[in-house]
Amino acid sequence: MKILAIACSFIVLAGVAFSLTLPAPKKKIEFKNGQSFANCGRVPAACERSGKDAIRGCHPWHAKVTRTGRKSTCDGTLISKRAIITRAQCLFNLLDLFRPSDIQVTLGAFNISDPNESTRQTVRAKALIPHPNREDFCIICFENDIGIIILEENALTLNEHVSPICLWDAEFNPRTFANTVGEAAAWDPKGKLVRNALEVVAYDGQCYQKYNDAVKPLTSFCFRHVRTTDTACTIETGAGFVVKKDGRSYLRGLLDIFENEPLIVKGKDRGFCSSTVKNYIAEDLADYIDWIIDNVPDVSRK
């Protein structure tokens, strides 16, 4: 629905100077005990490498969110022992919120095609919390499509294969965020975990012009692949846009447009899965971080 609307909104403003008024930076959040969760965002030094192949244990927060008994729905990110961030859309069956028992989350998976992986933990949701301002069938908007999956207190065992990422603990500044390089893990079509190198598009970029005022700094941002070898087809909706800072990994955004929602017009794939379509959109967690903290039982402010 959204994507169809976007395609229709494409307007070529050749020769017209484009500028976006950037909002003031959003103040940093002081978490209790310094980080949003104890030991969050840490992986072994061996994880510091480039290239597309993921290493087992280097993305221990990367989650698969599925509807019980069905195939893949979305990806998500573990931010505490009890909470996974994904898109609100992933929690709905059209207009109806799923029952928590309908949704299960898998963590510690490296080869998603191998159900016998010893590192894996698959658990049912205890509660589903979509953003209250999410709009059903919102036309050309990327706002509030965020949701939280809450788990039972002791559902997960945190270890080297399953551990939370940090929530952003510095200022949210749209001026310095432009051109930031991040990454998103994803399972490739064969089920193997891969890493996509992604870059935030500068706010005077064509993507913002193309999507007109639907993409609002601090609420959403445009991104693109850094490497031509990373195809758009591996990224999955709901996956985290992860940024490294001071030796820790932080959840900074939430992937919104992705391959499993190809725009099919009259039976023809219009190419959201092709490498020629370069810009994608993510939710910027800046505008949602207060809501996340208020709704996650084991994350708190100072």
Ligand X SMILES: *[C@@H]1O[C@H](CO)[C@@H](O)[C@H](O)[C@H]1NC(C)=O
Binding stretches for ligand X (CB under 6 A)? 111, 113-116, 191-192
Find, among 91, 104, 65, 218, the residue nearest to 147 by Cα: 91
- Closest CB to ligand X belongs to which residue? 114
Supply the minimum distance, in Å, between the C-beta of residue 161 and ligand X: 15
Between 113 and 260, name the residue whose CB sits nearer to ligand X: 113
Contact status, residue 79 vs residue 36, Cβ threshold 8 Å? yes
Per-residue b/e over 89-101, b at no fewer than 16 CB within 10 Å?
Answer: bbbbeeeeebebe
Amino acid at 54: A
CB nearer to ligand X: pick between 62 and 216: 62
Q: Least distance to ligand X from the beta carbon of 115, Å?
A: 6
Spell out a b/e string for 237-246, using b for 16 or more CB atoms within 10 Å of the CB, else e.
bbbbbbbbee
Kindly list the distances between the CA atom of residue 151 and the CA atoms of 125, 155, 197, 246, 298, in Å, as whole numbers in the listed order.
5, 6, 30, 29, 11
Q: In angstroms, give the least distance from the CB of 111 to ligand X.
A: 4
Closer of 70 and 190 to ligand X (Cβ)? 190
Tell me the closest approach of the beta carbon of residue 84 to ligand X, in angstroms: 23
Q: Which is nearer to ligand X, 192 or 224 (CB)?
A: 192
- Maximum Cα–Cα distance for the chain, whole Å? 58
Helical (H) or strand (E) element with 262: none
* Contact of 214 with 248, CB cutoff 8 Å: no
CB 173 within 8 A of CB 25: yes
Q: What's the closest the beta carbon of residue 248 comes to ligand X, in angstroms?
A: 28
| Cβ 162 to ligand X shortest distance, Å | 19
CB 110, min distance to ligand X, A? 8
4 CB-near residues (< 8 Å, 6+ apart): 263
The smaller minimum CB distance to ligand X, of residues 113 and 229, is found at 113
Cβ nearer to ligand X, comparing 9 with 229: 229
> What one-character-per-residue DSSP string does 138-164 give?
-TT--TT--EEEE--TTS---BTTB-P
Nearer to ligand X, 219 or 234 (CB): 234
